[in-house]
Structure 1
Amino acid sequence: MQGWLGSATRFQPSLPSFPPPSYHMPGPGHKKKTKAKAQRPQDAVINWPAAPDALAWNIRAEFICDILNLPAIKSRSALKQIHSDVDAVQRKLDLMYVQHDDLYVRGTVACIWGKLCCDAKLHDQLLRKGIIGKMVPLLRHETTRFAILRAFAVMSHNGSEQAIVQIAQETSEALIDVIDDKKDSDPAAASLCVVILSHCLLAAVGDKEIKLNVASQYPWKRVLKTMLDVLESPQSNVDAWVHAMQFLVGAAMALRSYYLVEPRAPQFLCALLHANNMELRIQGMRGLMRLTILGSAAKNTKYHDPHKLFRAQFPEHITEAFWEHGLNRCDILQHGACAGDYQKAMIQVADTLDLIDLGRKLYSFIYRDELSIMKGGFMDENNRPIQTRLPFLMWDESLPHCAKALRDLGESKTFPVGNMKVSALDMADVLTIKWYLITSRYNDSFNTAVAGLARNPDELYYYYAAGVGQANPELKVQYSRKGLARVKAGVKIPSAKGAMMSIEDNYVRLGLLANSTEHALWLAFDLAETQGHDHAKWERSLALFKIAFNDAKAWTKNAPPDNRNYGRVYLMYIITKLLWEAPTLSADMREFKISRIAYNEPDRTQHRLTVETIRKHYTAGVKLFAPAIAQFGSIKELAGANVPLPAEQEALYAWFEEDPSKHDSGHDVLRLSRWSTDGLELYACSSCGNASAVLRKCSRCGTARYCDHSCQKKHWVDGHKKTCKAVDGS
């Protein structure tokens, strides 16, 4: 296919040809070692089969390969041939480049280098031989610019991270110069520059913050401005816009100091939250979470003295919130009432020495209030602990002693708790778990809870403890979801008569919801970070976001306004609500009632900083970037450039995309999914609702899915038996 290069000038180089070397046979005993000479091309003058400007780059490449006795790069066997003596191949190509100042020859050699870089091993070997330094100057010439950019695009998608970083180091300034010069006159070239920069610089930024105004080998300010200009313009190329978006999201953590002095950067990330496309909203929130993580502090859940809270003078709007929720259902009264009963129980046991009776009371207290077991003790006038006849000194140390007394009664022994009967062994395990939790022995608490669940799957505290004590977020979500499923199925929380708190308000259920929300959200973002083009990962990520949103919504609906976790969970509720409903919300976020109701400065957690960034930049970001986001977010499938290319450039694309190694990496295809909730049930357990990638299908109906056999058994009893038969027809 003939191609158009924008110039009708025919160029025929007139360099002298090299005479063949002459050899003289040495006499006996006079054999001398000769130095190996670099192999030269057979002809220093390239006699093209047609005018060079009338040939496509791939035709020229095949012609040069033929001159140099190189195999046509069209098959795996050709690559194996080149692998067998890559140094000799590179010497031929390098000499061809050096001996000719013809742009067509040099551009063709560069195209061959780019084609060879489709192979990852050849890619790194050739880069170590300095080919980038020979290719970059060709970007200045109209004749070779597009071919070199296409070669760099191939090279930026393949090879080791070190090699990709090398490309970034040697090409960044030149590529930005091309964008500045050609963004209006040659949008296809400018688009390729953005694609190359995005791929290479994302490999270069790393995970450590790059400080502002510190000397760097990368022009970060120019890069950021260029990317934002592309993102702001609805006339941008599709490829360029998507790659610029990916760069803004991926580099937010490392370039945090640059983003904070360039308001358009956080504004764009916030504006993505207003997109109709769900994937764009997830990308925007990912970027904001990355932007705030380095400036955040770990959560520090505060414990307040209930007596001080009781005496505190709350503002009127907080008092109104207490009354609206129900004052007797608020934590402040629960703390006070439970603390009084706890003290009475300790005074009584000092007289009776009945550890079994105390253990039964402690079991009830543990379910009533999360902070019911306090350190406390009997003190003298000098505030020193008094040793009584009890086997413990401080009150919280009573837990293991009472647990042992209850465990010695055996599993068959039960006690009434409200309208329920609880086995002594379950009581003992709950007391033991509480002791492990308050002494930070989380592995022990988890193991005890799992063993208890195997014996009694209706003891809800086991699910709570398993979620709190397990470090693996997958298991945290799984056990929390299983516990919530048991609540939904009608399992009650044991409570003494007259207890003021219902199961909806109980901290055990609220703890299951908070645990599920926090770790489902973490898992969802982790999957979104690593999903690539894996559709199943995207679907599971979506299911986890939905779980986090629903559980956060349920938590905020039922939790008392003075709950110590309220701020933490409400922030997650805002984040998940924006992911699911942002397009329906107002640009000023008036739907959220956010106010500070604490006397102390709240912890600067990642979630809090993310929400504060959104509140600061959301309105301005939507106004500035809405036109471009509306255009690109509405495209069902983004793949390739949307700028018409000349025929020879189309041929060049096709030539580079032919994979001689027959391995399709899939990197060069960009897609934005059209999100829906149609497939969510495929990734959620039909019993507990846990999202998993390894659910087992019901072998009978094929529609229900389960985490394990226990979930399947519970779902069967809870009603699937009827629906499964209906589907099966039996």
Structure 2
Amino acid sequence: MPGPRNRQKNRSGPSMSNASPSASASSMSVATIDSLVNEIDEVNGWKAIATFLCTKLKLPDLSRRSGLKKMHANFSEYNKKLNDAYTKNVGNEKILGGIIGIWAKMSVDAVLRNRLVKDGLITKIMPLMDLRSTRLVGLEALATVTHHGGLDVRIEIAKHTPTLLRLLEEFPDNAKINELAVTTVSHSVGSVVNEEHLDTAFVRTLEVSNVLRRVLEAMRRPNATVILVDHGISLITSCTRHCHQDIKSLPPLVSLLAACLRVNDISVRCSALASFIRINLPNSEEENRFFDPAVLMQAVKRRFPDGPLESMVEYGLNNCETTLLIKTTTDYQKAMMQCTQDRDMYTLGKTLASLITRTEFSVSEGGFQYVDERTGRTEYADVGLPFKMWTDSLPYCAKILRQRNSSPRDLDLDDADILEIKFHILRQRIPDAIAHAEKAIKRNPHVAYFYYAIGLGADLPKALRAVKKGLKAKQTTLFVKYYMLWRAIAVAGDMGVTNLANVREGAQEYSEGIAFLMSALDDAKTFFEVAPPDARHMAVIVNWFVVLTIAIKGPELSLDLKELAPAFKKLETARQITEHIGFPYRKTQMRLSREMIMRSYAKAAKDFDSTITYYDTLYTSAYSKEERSVAGAEDTLAAWLEDLALEDGDHDTHCLHPRINSNTVALYRCTYCGNPSAALRKCSQCGKVKYCDAACQKLHWGEHKATCKAT
């Protein structure tokens, strides 16, 4: 961006008394000040101006870490020079713009930035917005400070949102002003509205719906840049956490999000999906978590509707979840009654361990009941066993099984661990269940139920790693497999949405977020294909399958989504089964998200067809030419601000998201279990495969060793 040329020296400018330090505290001689004024008129271009000022003021090289260290060591001295030059030249636009650029350059360092902001940097930048020659350099500086700033800095900048929106309105044809204003608003307002503990009073002053409306207008202009679009989508996604009503109040914004699901760039599509999912969280209901076998038996007696019944017969009635639950409930009761006769706790333990891994609700609370003739109340009888309540039998049976084991890998030990883990789960002691399962895995890593238990935990990355490994375990059952698929889908989906909604910059976070969603889609497809039609989580998973397919397949799908017809049929079957059993068809977050997308998908794609085409052109051009802006980089302050060659090899990243495809995302998946992660360990011998940890590497060695040794 060219700087001002041949400006009149020391002409009067806007009042900046509030932004400037005391003019009496000067560390620069009058001769030095005069020299700046006399010589700077011969310098043109903001990069050249900033470099000239650094030289004249004898500042260290701010493009290197060593220079920033010197600035740290002598901050007061160097910043006093800058403040003095700024104060004494409030009418010289070249000097003001150049000094602001230097301060922005210093702001890439968090400590320096915080000191500068505390010293009034933002209020020194804002007056430049009203001067034609310094408007762009002021916006560049503000965008840089915002990009590198922490929450406190972004809150301070968010207070100036009205000024930035005014610039969008006054200069609709200036692509660079639009880009920088939207970038700054996205970082500042986006951070404020995405905080866990929202400052509602401050957010009200921002008038988020108006901010979104102005940003949407800028995104639809024919001069919108790829950076503007990126940051616009990022702002919308951030607002979905707490400002969902503001988004819903703007139908064109919802339509734009739906249209973005057909953009060629997968990162844009997945960010749009994350927005839909978060918008619908506040009004969503949890899926049915508890199951009463007695209610189910009554439903079976009433006969299922023809459609669902046909699907269940086609799948195999004996393998359907309903049939298994009824059978295991009956077997559970029979086993307890048999134990009252033979007192064989060993056989009871083996039976219970088998039932636990067959269905989720096979072992439930109960007891040996009788009706007290005197009181008429139901009581629990003492039948001579060491327990009255049936679930209390689990630890007793486990103890007997441990006494019978003959080796560390004995099946009796596996069953004992299963009984004790289930007992912890029934008593709502999930941390204890997880700790027990982790210990059991060290003894035998092939039992899927142990991983199932860890998957119940609130630590989502840990839960995902566990269930992904559990899906590869040799000793498993259909129930355990289906549950772990459901958990893998829900956790990976949630983590992917969270990553995409919160990330501000960097390839790793975007890639990992999309890898989570692709992992969830893979598992949803598997569940969709192998689980029985009456599986308890079927409706939730089909909803996940639909929205993930739309986001990841994108423009490959037809507008009427006919490719998803089998999924919609299975979803309707799941709804009928749920309602027949007597449970409400819950308005889960995924159901609401799917329905919102479906309502606007086809129409939005047509209404925003030209916008989608334009976005596709933008992203293709930006990534093929590796450009980040409409302006040439040769003489812009932006190029100088981003030229930070740190001596240890680190480099700052721009917030423009990377181009993602299935090949790059695959690099973030464990070779053994498929768990998506950005922190994987390579095989030290061949370097061609990656693992979550040593356990995955060990379990995969039998398959990998042939190819590894051949390299």
Q: Structure 2-normalised TM-score?
A: 0.83
Structure 1 counterpart of 2:19: none
Query: 1:135, CA displacement in angstroms?
Result: 3.8
What is the SS of the residue equivalent to 2:365? coil
Pick from 594, 598, 615: which aligns with 2:598? 615
Structure 1 counterpart of 2:76: 84
The residue type equivalent to 1:579 in the other structure is: A
Pick from 272, 283, 289: which aligns with 1:301? 289
Structure 2 counterpart of 1:673: 659
* Alignment check: 8 A CA contact 2:3 2:94 kept: no
The answer to whether residue 190 in structure 2 is matched with residue 195 in structure 1 is no
The answer to whether residue 679 in structure 2 is matched with residue 687 in structure 1 is no
Partners in 1 of 2:345 and 2:310 — Cα distance?
42
Aligned length in residues: 672
Pick from 512, 518, 522: which aligns with 2:484? 512
Q: C-alpha offsets along residues 668-717 of structure 1, whole Å, 9 cap, x if unaligned?
A: 4624314132662x443433333444544445544344444554444343
The answer to whether residue 700 in structure 2 is matched with residue 715 in structure 1 is yes
Pick from 246, 256, 279: which aligns with 1:258? 246
Closer/same/farther in 2, CA of residues 293 and 89 from structure 1, 3 Å limit: farther
Closer/same/farther in 2, CA of residues 117 and 380 from structure 1, 3 Å limit: closer
1:573-722 matches, within 5 Å, as: 573-590=545-562, 591=564, 592-593=567-568, 594-595=571-572, 596-597=575-576, 598-599=578-579, 600-633=583-616, 635-636=619-620, 637-638=622-623, 640=627, 642-644=629-631, 650-659=635-644, 666-668=652-654, 670-677=656-663, 680=666, 682-717=667-702, 719-722=703-706
* Alignment check: 8 A CA contact 1:375 1:395 kept: yes
1:411-430 matches, within 5 Å, as: 411=406, 423-430=411-418
Structure 2 counterpart of 1:272: 260
Query: 1:160, CA displacement in angstroms?
Result: 3.5
The residue type equivalent to 1:606 in the other structure is: Q
Partners in 2 of 1:705 and 1:131 — Cα distance?
46
The residue type equivalent to 2:652 in the other structure is: G
The residue type equivalent to 1:390 in the other structure is: L
Identity %: 27
Q: C-alpha offsets along residues 591-616 of structure 1, whole Å, 9 cap, x if unaligned?
A: 24143333344444433332232223
Structure 1 counterpart of 2:164: 175
Q: Structure 1-normalised TM-score?
A: 0.81
Pick from 437, 446, 450: which aligns with 1:449? 437
The residue type equivalent to 2:313 in the other structure is: W
Structure 2 counterpart of 1:385: 380
Structure 1 counterpart of 2:16: none
Structure 1 counterpart of 2:18: none
Partners in 2 of 1:712 and 1:646 — Cα distance?
46
Structure 1 counterpart of 2:300: 310
The residue type equivalent to 1:631 in the other structure is: Y
The residue type equivalent to 2:164 in the other structure is: L
What is the SS of the residue equivalent to 2:532? coil
Partners in 1 of 2:208 and 2:247 — Cα distance?
10
Structure 2 counterpart of 1:351: 341
What is the SS of the residue equivalent to 1:384? strand
Q: C-alpha offsets along residues 425-454 of structure 1, whole Å, 9 cap, x if unaligned?
A: 332222222222211222332233333333
* Alignment check: 8 A CA contact 1:231 1:625 kept: no
Structure 2 counterpart of 1:548: 520
* Alignment check: 8 A CA contact 2:505 2:654 kept: no
Q: C-alpha offsets along residues 300-331 of structure 1, whole Å, 9 cap, x if unaligned?
A: 41313322222345433222322232223222
Partners in 1 of 2:432 and 2:73 — Cα distance?
60
* Alignment check: 8 A CA contact 1:237 1:643 kept: yes
Query: 1:507, CA displacement in angstroms?
Result: 0.7
Query: 1:549, CA displacement in angstroms?
Result: 1.7
* Alignment check: 8 A CA contact 1:696 1:706 kept: yes
Closer/same/farther in 2, CA of residues 90 and 485 from structure 1, 3 Å limit: same
Q: Which structure has the greater CA radius of gyration?
A: 1
Partners in 2 of 1:711 and 1:72 — Cα distance?
53
Query: 1:258, CA displacement in angstroms?
Result: 0.7
* Alignment check: 8 A CA contact 1:375 1:396 kept: yes
Pick from 444, 452, 473: which aligns with 2:460? 473
Pick from 229, 232, 237: which aligns with 1:241? 229
Q: Which moved more, 1:602-611 or 1:365-374?
A: 602-611
Query: 1:12, CA displacement in angstroms?
Result: 4.7
* Alignment check: 8 A CA contact 1:256 1:291 kept: yes
Closer/same/farther in 2, CA of residues 74 and 589 from structure 1, 3 Å limit: same
Q: C-alpha offsets along residues 11-47 of structure 1, whole Å, 9 cap, x if unaligned?
A: 35589xxxxxxxxxxxxxxxxxxx9944487279888
Q: C-alpha offsets along residues 379-401 of structure 1, whole Å, 9 cap, x if unaligned?
A: 22332222222222122222222
Partners in 1 of 2:259 and 2:461 — Cα distance?
31
Closer/same/farther in 2, CA of residues 428 and 188 from structure 1, 3 Å limit: closer
Structure 2 counterpart of 1:395: 390
Q: C-alpha offsets along residues 345-383 of structure 1, whole Å, 9 cap, x if unaligned?
A: 222222222222222322332233321113222322332
The residue type equivalent to 1:676 in the other structure is: S
Partners in 1 of 2:392 and 2:641 — Cα distance?
72
Query: 1:288, CA displacement in angstroms?
Result: 2.3
* Alignment check: 8 A CA contact 1:212 1:258 kept: no
The answer to whether residue 404 in structure 2 is matched with residue 409 in structure 1 is yes
Closer/same/farther in 2, CA of residues 316 and 140 from structure 1, 3 Å limit: same
**Higher helix share goes to which structure?**
2
Partners in 1 of 2:694 and 2:191 — Cα distance?
44
* Alignment check: 8 A CA contact 1:3 1:53 kept: no
Closer/same/farther in 2, CA of residues 440 and 720 from structure 1, 3 Å limit: same
Closer/same/farther in 2, CA of residues 234 and 55 from structure 1, 3 Å limit: closer
Q: Which moved more, 1:81-90 or 1:554-563?
A: 81-90
Partners in 1 of 2:462 and 2:10 — Cα distance?
70
* Alignment check: 8 A CA contact 2:514 2:665 kept: no
Q: What runs of 5+ residues in structure 1 fail to find an aligned partner?
A: 16-34, 415-421, 494-502
The residue type equivalent to 2:398 in the other structure is: A
Q: C-alpha offsets along residues 490-512 of structure 1, whole Å, 9 cap, x if unaligned?
A: x5x5xxxxxxxxx5xx2122122
Partners in 2 of 1:652 and 1:473 — Cα distance?
42
* Alignment check: 8 A CA contact 2:263 2:615 kept: no
Q: Which moved more, 1:701-710 or 1:325-334?
A: 701-710
Partners in 1 of 2:246 and 2:102 — Cα distance?
38
Query: 1:192, CA displacement in angstroms?
Result: 1.8
Closer/same/farther in 2, CA of residues 325 and 352 from structure 1, 3 Å limit: same
* Alignment check: 8 A CA contact 1:328 1:334 kept: yes
Partners in 1 of 2:390 and 2:51 — Cα distance?
86
Structure 1 counterpart of 2:366: 376
Query: 1:106, CA displacement in angstroms?
Result: 4.6
What is the SS of the residue equivalent to 1:143? coil
* Alignment check: 8 A CA contact 1:210 1:256 kept: no
Q: C-alpha offsets along residues 200-237 of structure 1, whole Å, 9 cap, x if unaligned?
A: 22233243597999983324233211211222345412
* Alignment check: 8 A CA contact 1:277 1:674 kept: yes
Query: 1:169, CA displacement in angstroms?
Result: 0.8
Closer/same/farther in 2, CA of residues 570 and 11 from structure 1, 3 Å limit: same
Partners in 1 of 2:99 and 2:437 — Cα distance?
67
Partners in 1 of 2:641 and 2:304 — Cα distance?
69
Pick from 480, 496, 500: which aligns with 1:524? 496
Partners in 1 of 2:357 and 2:105 — Cα distance?
67
Closer/same/farther in 2, CA of residues 333 and 161 from structure 1, 3 Å limit: closer
The residue type equivalent to 1:481 in the other structure is: K
Query: 1:662, CA displacement in angstroms?
Result: 7.0
Partners in 1 of 2:497 and 2:461 — Cα distance?
13
The answer to whether residue 127 in structure 2 is matched with residue 133 in structure 1 is no
Closer/same/farther in 2, CA of residues 85 and 562 from structure 1, 3 Å limit: same
* Alignment check: 8 A CA contact 1:96 1:109 kept: no
The residue type equivalent to 1:476 in the other structure is: A
* Alignment check: 8 A CA contact 1:477 1:690 kept: yes
Q: C-alpha offsets along residues 544-594 of structure 1, whole Å, 9 cap, x if unaligned?
A: 333322222111222222222222222222233233323222334442414
The residue type equivalent to 2:176 in the other structure is: A
Structure 2 counterpart of 1:155: 145
Pick from 537, 541, 544: which aligns with 1:572? 544
Partners in 1 of 2:514 and 2:135 — Cα distance?
42
